[in-house]
Amino acid sequence: MTEYNFAYLDEATKRMIRRALLKAVAIPGYQVPFSSREMPMPYGWGTGGVQVTAACLVPEDSLKVIDQGADDTTNAVSIRSFFEKVAGVATTESTADASVIQTRHRIPEAPLVAGQILVFQVPIPEPLRFLEPRETETRTMHALEDYGLMQVRLYEDIARHGEIARAYAYPVKVEGRYVMDPSPIPKFDNPKLNMSPALQLFGAGRECRIYALPPFTRVESLDFEDYPFTPSKAAGHDCAICGAQDSYLDEVITDDSGGRMFVCSDTDYCATRAAQMEANA
Amino acid sequence: MTPLLQVEGLSKRYGAHIGCADVDFTLWPGEVMGIVGESGSGKSTLLNCLAGHLAPDTGRVILDTRAHGPRDTLTMSEPERRWLARTDWAFVHQNPRDGLRMGVSAGGNVGERLMAVGARHYGDIRAQAADWLTRVEIDTARMDDRPSTFSGGMQQRVQIARNLVTGPRLVFMDEPTGGLDVSVQARLLDLLRGLVRRLGLSVVIVTHDLSVVRLLADRLMVMKDGHVVEEGLTDQVLDDPQHGYTQLLVSSVLHV
């Protein structure tokens, strides 16, 4: 482990990222620019999240990496082995045992506790991106709290589909001030952002932006008074493996003749429950 | 009575070139002021300076705001100016594509200003949008269609509904009938005249079409090379033009 500086990035870069993180924590929901580095993986694989994790890691940390809730998918396995190699930190698949969790597209089902850091990989940090193409204008809109346009998008959904059709990356308002893209997590996970005891950090590598939710931050999902926000998931199913009714489910196609099953997307949550049921039986 | 808009010594230069120079005028509540002149005479520069789209070099634009009385809009902070642009002001562009969101339904276009000032009840927003679309003679069956599927005249009417929905007191119009064929123009003018009279709107309307100002405007300002060359009641200016340029302008209108 002498070939690399601890956690791959050099100390000057880590300091730069930590300064951006401090600013992001000081202004919850505000997108702080940072000079994102080239990482030894392609954009879209979580380069922003990896840089934030690298800047947060200390040798005593225990790291968990998940992709769509699973510990055993390509992205999660690659990033976990990356940090095993370049930081030599302990890794775990258990949410409760981890001190830093890097995630793509999910928040773990098990409640997070104070002291834990949740790092999100963010593809598009700007919630107004597809409503207003000019970055100069979206920055002004954030500065002036000019969020009527975001509401127009929700209006259009209801007019066209009879409900707010957005199922992931559902926009939220942070502490009544900044509108934020919570990264492509399902809207089922949005309530977990609110008043979380853990520190939540968001890194967008290609877009060079970092933003954060400090512990116990008020996070509200945008909605209309007569069309309130509903955290939805696959209705009418329990997990086929552990029987959980309260977790977010993946639909898995099992054969060519229409066979399918619904299972927890959070593999650790599912495995823990299954082990418990076996112990009780 | 306090004037709604008071403009003093407004000038805007583009380098050595004059955009508009030393413009003074007063607009009273409920009054329609027409600004005419040839292309490049500074009409649109003046309008954009008044509406806060351009920063003039010198001068004052004092608006009698609903909340705080007379205020100079040029020294206001940007958030205050934007708030005005969503509440007290309205701006109707010549090309509806500049004033509408083409990817958003007609109802959403009209509702945007309501949502921008804090409306969060879908049913109410939709009802108001439908009401305004009806007022500008657009079938509510088409309120969920995008403006790109509308004709030019319909797009212009949606733009007008979108601007008037928050009950502005001062409307800026930049050639609202430009690019429309004559029969559609006539209908739009008729509609505008009705709305202006019924709602008691104050309007600053820029056009090069003298028949538009004849129908709509109470008073008229004639501009040439960035300067105001003549000002007065519309009928007076059009029937008895004093300045040489105005005489030329009036005499060059074709009578069929």
pTM, whole model, 2 decimals? 0.86
The conformation of residue B142, written as its DSSP 8-state character, comes to G
CB contact (8 A) between residue A224 and residue B112:
no
Please identify which residue in the block is written with the tokens 């290609």: A206
Closest CA to B100 of B185, B46, B139, B157: B157
B contacts of A158 (beta carbons < 8 Å): 122
Flag whether pLDDT at A1 surpasses 60. Answer: no
Residues 118-157 of A with CB under 8 A from B: 140, 144-149, 151-152, 155-156
What does the pLDDT read at residue A135? Answer: 93
B-chain residues near A147 (CB < 8 A): 116
User: What count of other Cβ atoms lies within 10 Å of the Cβ of residue A105?
Assistant: 20
- φ, ψ dihedrals at B175, nearest 5°: 50, 60
φ/ψ bin of A77: left (φ > 0), alpha (ψ from -120 to 50), beta (otherwise): alpha
Percent of chain A whose predicted confidence (pLDDT) is above 70 = 99
Name the catalytic one among A46, A49, A203, A264: A264
DSSP labels, B74-109: TTS-HHHHHHHHHTTEEEE-SSHHHHS-TTS-HHHH
- What DSSP character marks residue A70? B
Q: Which residue of B has its CA nearest to A156?
A: B108
CA dihedral A223, A227, A229, A230 (to 10 degrees): -160
- Please state, in angstroms and rounded to a whole number, the distance separating the CA atoms of residues A112 and A105: 16
Q: What is the pLDDT of residue B177?
A: 87
Do residues A54 and A87 make contact, with C-beta atoms less than 8 angstroms apart? yes
State the Cα torsion B128-B129-B134-B137 to the nearest 10°.
150
Token representation of residue B250: 């009036």
Q: Is A216 at the interface with chain B, CB within 8 A?
A: no
Q: What is the mean pLDDT of chain A?
A: 94
Phi, psi of B101 (to 5 degrees): -95, 110
Q: And the tokens for A148?
A: 């009527």
What b/e string do you get for B162-199 counting C-beta neighbours within 10 Å, with b at 16 or more? Answer: bbbbbebbbbbbbbbbbebeeebbeebbebbeebbeee
Query: What does the pLDDT average to over B75-98?
Result: 90
3-class SS of residue A165: coil
Give the minimum alpha-carbon distance from A240 to chain B in angstroms, rounded to a whole number: 38
Residue A208 known to be catalytic: no
Give the pLDDT band of residue B254 (cuts 50, 70, 90). Answer: confident
pLDDT at B188: 87
Of residues A147, A152, A224, nearest to B108 (C-beta): A152
Contact B120 A224 (CB under 8 A): yes
Three-state DSSP class for B211? Answer: helix
The residue with greater pLDDT, B30 or A22, is: A22
Q: Per residue in A9-64, pLDDT tens?
A: 999 999 999 999 999 999 999 999 999 999 999 998 999 999 999 999 999 999 99
CB contact under 8 A, A224 and B111: no
CB contact under 8 A, A227 and B122: yes
Q: Which domains does chain A have, with CATH numbers?
A: 11-125+171-221 (3.40.50.11310), 233-281 (no CATH)
Q: B85: which chain A residues are within 8 Å (Cβ-Cβ)?
A: none
A176 SS3 class:
coil
Active site residue A242: yes
DSSP symbol at A144: T
Closest CA to B19 of B50, B44, B37, B2: B44
Contact A150/A179 with Cβ under 8 angstroms? yes
pLDDT tens track for A158-199:
999 999 999 999 999 999 999 999 999 999 999 999 999 999
The DSSP code for A201 is: E
Q: Between B195 and A125, name the one with better pLDDT.
A: A125
pLDDT band at residue B256, thresholds of 50, 70 and 90? low
Instruction: Please give the Cα distance from A36 to A50 (Å, whole number).
Output: 11
Tell me the per-residue pLDDT of A96-113, one tens digit each, with 9 for 90 and over: 999 999 999 999 999 999
Q: Are B228 and B41 in contact (CB under 8 A)?
A: no
B121 contact residues in A (CB cutoff 8 A): 224-226
Task: Check: CB of residue B176 under 8 Å from CB of residue B183.
Answer: no
Q: How far is B143 from chain A (nearest CA, A)?
A: 9
